Amino acid sequence: MRSEPSIEELFEAISNYFVDIRTIVESKNSDNKIADFILILREPKNISELDLKEITTYIDEKIIPILNGYQRFYAFVAKNSLKIALRQMYLIDNYDELEKIRLKKILNVDGSLEFLNKELCKRIKNKEIKRNDPKLKDHLIRSTMAKISIDQPNYSGYLKALEDQYPSD
């Protein structure tokens, strides 16, 4: 199950942030990189892993040291969002595939991942599937573990789940 906002939306938000800080960054750095990055982030389909790594390094080396207050805080948020995007690009296809296999088995129907998740939600809501169903529980654990491993892998609740060896893909 894909988290929201999408990585395209995260790229858009980072590019908006870069527009806000562009004048300050260009006044302190002699390169024109930030203008290039704004263009790259606005074409999400063409973004490569290498681009994301380059932008992350630039935030670390050229942006964080020159900013204060909330603009500096947003630099950390932007960096974290780029890391989420990188993890998603690496991991999501495999997670999606395994999630779909499980959902098809539980629901006995076929369709897109979005459709299958909506169908599962409908059946939980209508009590057509019991909350203590072992297959349902296993699925919820695995898909949630997958999601948080992309979104917040340092979160205490996830670290505890790893320590307690929850099933995961």
Q: Applying CB under 8 A, does 144 fall inside the site for other proteins? A: yes
Closest CA to 153 of 75, 98, 106, 88: 88
Distance CA 26, CA 19 (A): 11
Distance CA 159, CA 105 (A): 29
Element holding 77 (H helix, E strand): helix 69-107
Site for other proteins, residues 12 to 51, rule: CB under 8 A: 12-14, 16-17
Q: Give yes or no for a contact between 44 and 11, defined as CB atoms under 8 angstroms apart.
A: yes
By CB under 8 A, which span of 30-38, 40-48, 53-61, 156-164 interacts with other proteins?
Answer: 156-164
The nearest distance, CB 163 to other proteins, in angstroms, is 10
Q: How far separated are the first and last CA of the chain, in Å rounded?
A: 13
The nearest distance, CB 100 to other proteins, in angstroms, is 14
Distance CA 65, CA 72 (A): 8
Task: Supply 156's token pair.
Answer: 């205490």
Q: Which is nearer to other proteins, 4 or 30 (CB)?
A: 4
The nearest distance, CB 71 to other proteins, in angstroms, is 11
Q: Applying CB under 8 A, does 4 fall inside the site for other proteins? A: yes
Q: Applying CB under 8 A, does 84 fall inside the site for other proteins? A: yes
Site for other proteins, residues 93 to 132, rule: CB under 8 A: 117-118, 120-121, 124-125, 127, 131
Q: Give yes or no for a contact between 82 and 14, defined as CB atoms under 8 angstroms apart.
A: yes
- Residue ranges that bind other proteins, judged by CB under 8 A: 1, 3-5, 9-10, 12-14, 16-17, 73-74, 77-78, 80-81, 84, 117-118, 120-121, 124-125, 127, 131, 136-137, 139-141, 143-145, 147-148, 150-152, 154-161, 164, 166
